[in-house]
Amino acid sequence: MEAIPKEILPIGSKTLANVVEFIGNTPLIRLNSIPASMGIKCEVLAKCEFFGPGGSHKDRIALQMIENAEKSGELSPGGTIIEPTSGNTGIAIAMIAAVKGYKCIFTMTDKNSQEKVEILRAMGAKVIMVPGLPRDHPGSYISTAVRLQQETPNSIMLNQYANPGNPEAHYENTGVEILNQCSGSVDMIVVGAGTGGAITGLGRRMKASCKKCIVVGVDPEGSTLAEPQAINQTGTKAWEVEGIGHNDFTPVNLDKSVVDKWYKSNDTDSLVMARRLIQEEGLLVGGSSGSVMSCALQAVQDANLSPGQKCVILFPDSIRNYMTKFLTKSWMLEKNLLNEAELENEQEHLWWSRKVSELSLESPVLTLTPSSTIEKAVMTMKFMNVAHIPVIEDNGTIRGIVTSEGIMTKLLTKKVTKDEAVEKVLTVKYKKITEDTTLAKVSAILNTSGDYAVIVKRNGSSETIQGILTHTDLLGYMVQNF
């Protein structure tokens, strides 16, 4: 099969007019260490989209969708682009908009990394954060974007989930590049499913130009995009890896007919694999690259690909947007995403593997109800010489924690009075732990999720509070015992 002709600009051969000219033509890099460790004999090749100027394969679709909108007249000079995004599409749109002179408004869920939010704001975009609600909820990030577009003059929503420019960019560009880089012969291609554009565009190109190619789709546990639907019944409802999967709708751009076989990824395998790709292959990839890599290794073994055959994996984005997530050991520990073998290698302190049960816990634990007054909370703290008290419902359910600092802030700013209920000054920045939780995980929780870890004893569906741990408690234990 002859490669499809396409001019590829050698890097550094001329001065580029602007950053937009650098979009596309990303390298295809052979993976060595990890495939060898699995006994894999075929070539495993990574299409490294993180080399693009915006750091992801969304550069391609953003440019395609914007140029299509310009040609159709939907996007006019000085216009505003509004888009719901998990971050990478937003970054790509903002980058191109900066060059072309458009304004941007993006809606994102609170699941997405803070790095993405800060990058978008640094690029001059307005970012509206909303809870992770179902897409048909009026407060979801998609519904919010639709409403904003209707309210904003001279604006357009590109809608990457249904915009034909999304798969078109991968069919006309990414797929052509891969075929050229592989001399027209690809035996398997592995792509994650998010908006559906990449797997649809690449799948269609392979079916049209390299008919023997096996198209593999990757969908995270908790998502329902994979086929047959039976493989989606994993018992998982949510996942940490960003940019792939949906469990409340199927994107218009997802053409499942081009996918020969689906594999389900999970957070632990995905994020541990992403860390391996960084450490063993030197590729600064994001978490979803770990998803497609972990599934690709299984797919290659199932298909029994032999020496001389090629498996291409699309690595969609870079590590840049996840520095405080899977790259951070404490975040991985908090989320229970380090497997036991790796956790053993992460032991940095003598107290790392000790359990919460070794700490001296106060018993019984002082609590308040949500209807208790702020004045009562303050007087109780003063009498008992404590700075925080758990607040629980009559049935034992934890509502939050009331703190002296929180009360003082609200009282000084006159947001509450001493006669109001403590439920108005609660903090919910805490995590539940048990006596079997390691101090390594407690440390991670206190560093990433708030100042408090509530120790609970579980008996079926009920819980009993046994204490609260803070940085001071952990520090006291370390000083006394090590």
Comma-separated ranges of CATH 3.10.580.10 domains in the chain: 348-481
Would you call 47 helix, strand, or coil by DSSP?
Answer: strand
237 catalytic residue (yes or no): no
**CB pairs under 8 A, 24+ apart, for 142-149?**
142/84, 142/107, 144/84, 144/107, 145/82, 145/83, 145/84, 145/105, 145/106, 145/107, 148/82, 148/105, 148/107, 149/82
The dihedrals phi and psi of 245, each to the nearest 5 degrees, come to 85, 150
Tens of pLDDT, residues 72-89:
999 999 999 999 887 889
pLDDT of residue 364: 61
pLDDT of residue 341: 46
- 22-53+164-322 CATH fold: Rossmann fold (3.40.50)
Provide mean pLDDT across the span 321-326. 74
Output the six-digit token pair for 164.
């034909």
pLDDT of residue 11: 54
H/E element holding 122? Answer: helix 114-122
CATH architecture designation of domain 58-157: 3-Layer(aba) Sandwich (3.40)
DSSP type of residue 436: T
More confident residue, 10 or 36: 36
The answer, as to whether pTM is greater than 0.75, is: no
Q: Is the pLDDT of residue 396 over 80?
A: no
Q: Look at 86-90, 134-138, 232-236, 345-349 and tell me which has the smallest mean pLDDT.
A: 345-349
Comma-separated ranges of CATH 3.40.50.1100 domains in the chain: 22-53+164-322, 58-157
pLDDT of residue 342: 53
Of 6, 14, 58, 335, which residue is the catalytic one? 58
Tens of pLDDT, residues 416-472:
899 999 988 887 677 788 888 878 778 777 776 667 788 888 777 677 787 788 877
Task: Give the whole-angstrom CA distance, residue 151 versus residue 127.
Answer: 16
Whether residue 135 contacts residue 54, with contact meaning beta carbons closer than 8 Å, is answered with no
Provide mean pLDDT across the span 5-15. 60
As assigned by CATH, the class of the 348-481 domain is alpha beta
